[in-house]
Amino acid sequence: MIKILFIGDLIGRPGRKLIFNHFNELLERYSPDFTIVNIENVAGGMGITKKIVDELEKKVNIDVYTTGNHVWDKKEFEKYVNHFEKVLIPANYPDNVPGNRFKICKKNNKTIAVANLLGRALMGVNLECPFKTAKSLIEKLKKETENIIIDFHAEATSEKNALALYLDGYVSAIIGTHTHIQTADERILDKGTAYITDAGMCGIYNSVIGYDEKNAIKKFITQMPKKYEVKTSGRAVIQGVFIELDDRGKGNKIERVKIFYWQFFFY
Ligand code: FE2
């Protein structure tokens, strides 16, 4: 059996602090063989910096970092992305874009492969088809292991449902990210793939997907562009999923992780 702990998008400083302060508790609680964390919003709420990945690497033991549409928001990251072999970029970016498309992790005679894909519906991106990319990538990964985990970073629940059913039985788990709102539809699909539409986030719970409501509300009311700022005070939450795979690489169990912390200020 293989146990995997997947943690949803870390939103800025509260997301980082939650992980720095509580990751060891999560390891004790779930005893995972492998850990995966989505970090595309880790720097100021959008993007990634070298300094932050260095700090994560120093302080917590994460096996794979997944990302999404905000992976390039901090200009400098393009320069460093190949430097971090644990950081994945969505595999359906064009071939000439830098960054790793998958990661094979081996530990204690257990192996998993992790990949990241970006949805196209309502995402404002024009990438390769995630369905086609998934099929060719999975063929390659299957030569290494049957234990394949996909972070599908997408907005539309329908696109996430569709990819999950398209790949049911071909991969071990499909975990949705990007909306930051944890869905209550975790399940093992008919042919054995563990699935959730969205794993949720790590940040301030009563917020607009992790951001301060002030500008978010103004944006909706005025229809004018407003900068989203990370919300840094209030009840905090760590969200994700805990998955167990059987010896054939099928999902055995998927369970939501949702832990609240009454930490009011993150500065
Ligand atoms: Fe995203």
Please report whether residue 167 resides in a domain.
Answer: yes
pLDDT of residue 122: 93
What does each of the 267 residues of the chain score in pLDDT, given as a tens digit?
A: 999 999 999 999 999 999 999 999 999 999 999 999 999 999 999 999 999 999 999 999 999 999 999 999 999 999 999 999 999 999 999 999 999 999 999 999 999 999 999 999 999 889 999 999 999 999 999 999 999 999 999 999 999 999 999 999 999 999 999 999 999 999 999 999 999 999 999 999 999 999 999 999 999 999 999 999 999 999 999 999 999 999 999 999 999 999 999 876 665
Please report whether residue 266 resides in a domain.
Answer: no
Rounded CA gap, 22 and 259, in Å?
Answer: 10
Please report whether residue 267 resides in a domain.
Answer: no
Query: What is the distance in A from the centroid of ligand 1 to the CA of 37?
Result: 13
Out of 22, 70, 178, 180, which one is annotated catalytic? 70
pLDDT of residue 204: 96
Q: Is 70 a catalytic residue?
A: yes
Please report whether residue 198 resides in a domain.
Answer: yes
Query: What is the distance in A from the centroid of ligand 1 to the CA of 248?
Result: 31
The domain total for the chain is: 1
Full residue range of the structural domain in which residue 249 is found: 2-261
pLDDT of residue 267: 59
Query: What is the distance in A from the centroid of ligand 1 to the CA of 246?
Result: 30
Exposure b/e, 118-132, CB count within 10 A at least 16 = b: bbbeebeeebbebee
Please report whether residue 62 resides in a domain.
Answer: yes
Please report whether residue 190 resides in a domain.
Answer: yes
What are 35's two structure tokens? 């850990």
pLDDT of residue 263: 72
Query: What is the distance in A from the centroid of ligand 1 to the CA of 118?
Result: 9
CATH number at residue 256: 3.60.21.10
